[in-house]
Amino acid sequence: MTIPRAGFRWIVGIENAFIPDMGVDELSWTRHRERWREDLALARDTGADAVRYGITWPEVETAPGVYGWTAVDLVVDEFERLGLEPIWDLVHFGVPAHLAGGFLDPAFPDAFAAYAGAFAERYRGRVRKITPLNEPYITTYFRAGKAIWPPHLPGDEGFARLLHPIVVGLRRAIRAIDAAAPDTEIWLNDGADTFHADDPSLRAEADFRTLQRYAAFDLLLGGPAAGETHAWLKRAGFPEDALEDEPVRVDVIGLDYYPETEHVLSRGPDGAVLQRPAPPETRAGVHAACRAFFDRYGRPLFVAESSASGDDARRRAWIDWNLRELRAADAAGIPVLGYTWWPLFDHVDWDSLLTDLKGSICPAGLYHLRPTTADRAPTDAAAAFREAAAAGFAGDAA
């Protein structure tokens, strides 16, 4: 499916990480479970015309092949009533308990495909945009590579071992969606991480770490540039028979871009490689990320996640800068379809990347969780988002 440029979408996201093996339940922590209707109305009132919204697979499929759709039916109905379009996440870091091995469970790829196909068939014609699995590269990197989440598989070998079932599952899930609802659009997002080196001896390492961000898309879409990815994955032990497969359909690529998305590598006093967020004056920016992904894949793009934690002034400035960058990309001929502020309201414990669950509220939302987590207090960034949506995307690219 080819997606034409048909207007710019103003999108908000509701953080829906539900990861049973880590004790994570953002929907309960932020009280969204009890006030989901009010939150969807809040999204509309903020000026959004679409919402990145997640289903909790572990709760929908409580036994192999047994799906409970009642709660999802209600949300789909409410989206239609409000005139909002959902972009549904089917997997957002967590899998059902019956997959005891998680993403490494031998049953994962087929279970994922069956679930994705069942969702697409049930909501055919009502749900038109699906993200089969949120952030395949980041999902892999957190559990392997960086290995801060279970099963803690470090290094390139760990990354390749975990990426394999995730990519195989994605291929099968997208094909299942195609079979059940071929008119459904596949909007797949991932981190747009970029690495810079302030030491010439680290340039090759920075380039390699940047290359890793393409791993999932290269395997799913193929193309001339994928050879680099295939080479390093093969060295890391990725099964050769899974490197080459028929490309699957990804209609729109989503880029997740935060202030911490660009990194600088340097050497410490002992020669160890250190990593820190790139200062603003050295960032290549969202425009450069759009250019890199569009040149590599030729797909339309949208910003699938973006926000800046801190005070209201910092968040408003972040929106303004992001939109200037996207207008510059659009003026340069890169098809940009939308912008997402993630999250609509503050999320919890992401300051530790969910490794220290102490109820820390991260002030990244358009709305604060104040005075309690059941409340939504508007920020200046909410007004900035609403004003930008009302004004429309067209404007100077300066």
Percent share of the chain, pLDDT over 70? 97
How far is the C-alpha of 105 from the C-alpha of 368, rounded, in Å? 38
Q: What is the pLDDT of residue 5?
A: 46
Q: Could you report the per-residue pLDDT of 98-107, keeping only the tens digit for each?
A: 999 999 999 9
Q: How many CB atoms lie within 10 A of CB 279?
A: 10
- What is the per-residue DSSP string for 263-304? EEEEE-TTS-EEEEEPPGGG--HHHHHHHHHHHHH---EEEE
Mean pLDDT across the stretch 277-282? Answer: 92
Please tell me the pTM assigned to this model.
Answer: 0.95
Task: Give the model's pLDDT for residue 239.
Answer: 96
Query: Is the sign of the CA dihedral 317, 291, 190, 35 positive or negative?
Result: positive
The residues near 368 (Cβ < 8 Å, ≥ 6 apart) are 345, 346, 361, 376, 377, 378, 379
Bridge partner list, 197: 265
- Predicted confidence (pLDDT) per residue in 292-342, tens digit: 999 999 999 999 999 998 888 999 999 999 999 999 999 999 999 999 999
pLDDT of residue 6: 55
Average pLDDT, integer, range 3-30: 89
Residue 160 CA to residue 141 CA, distance in Å, equals 10
Q: How confident is the model at residue 2 (pLDDT cuts 50, 70, 90)?
A: very low
Give the chain's radius of gyration (CA, Å): 20
Q: What is the pLDDT of residue 244?
A: 85
Binned at pLDDT 50, 70 and 90, residue 252 comes out as very high
Residue 397 pLDDT greater than 70, yes or no: no
Domains of the chain: 9-391 (3.20.20.80)
Q: Does residue 142 have a pLDDT over 90?
A: yes
If you write DSSP's letter for every residue of 176-197 in order, what string do you get? HHHHH-TT-EEEEEEE--EEEE
What does the pLDDT look like over 340-396, one tens digit per residue?
Answer: 999 999 999 999 999 999 999 999 999 999 999 999 999 999 999 999 999 999 744
What's the rounded mean pLDDT across residues 141-151?
96
Mean pLDDT over each residue of the chain, to the nearest integer: 95
**Token pair of 142, please?**
């957190």
Average pLDDT over residues 212-222: 97
pLDDT reported for residue 271: 87
CA distance 347 to 358: 12
For helices 226-235 and 155-180, what crossing angle results, to 10°?
Answer: 130
What is the reported pLDDT for 3? 40
pLDDT above 70 for 233: yes
φ, ψ of residue 202 in degrees (nearest 5)? -105, 5
For 33-66, write each residue's pLDDT tens digit.
Answer: 999 999 999 999 999 999 999 999 999 999 999 9
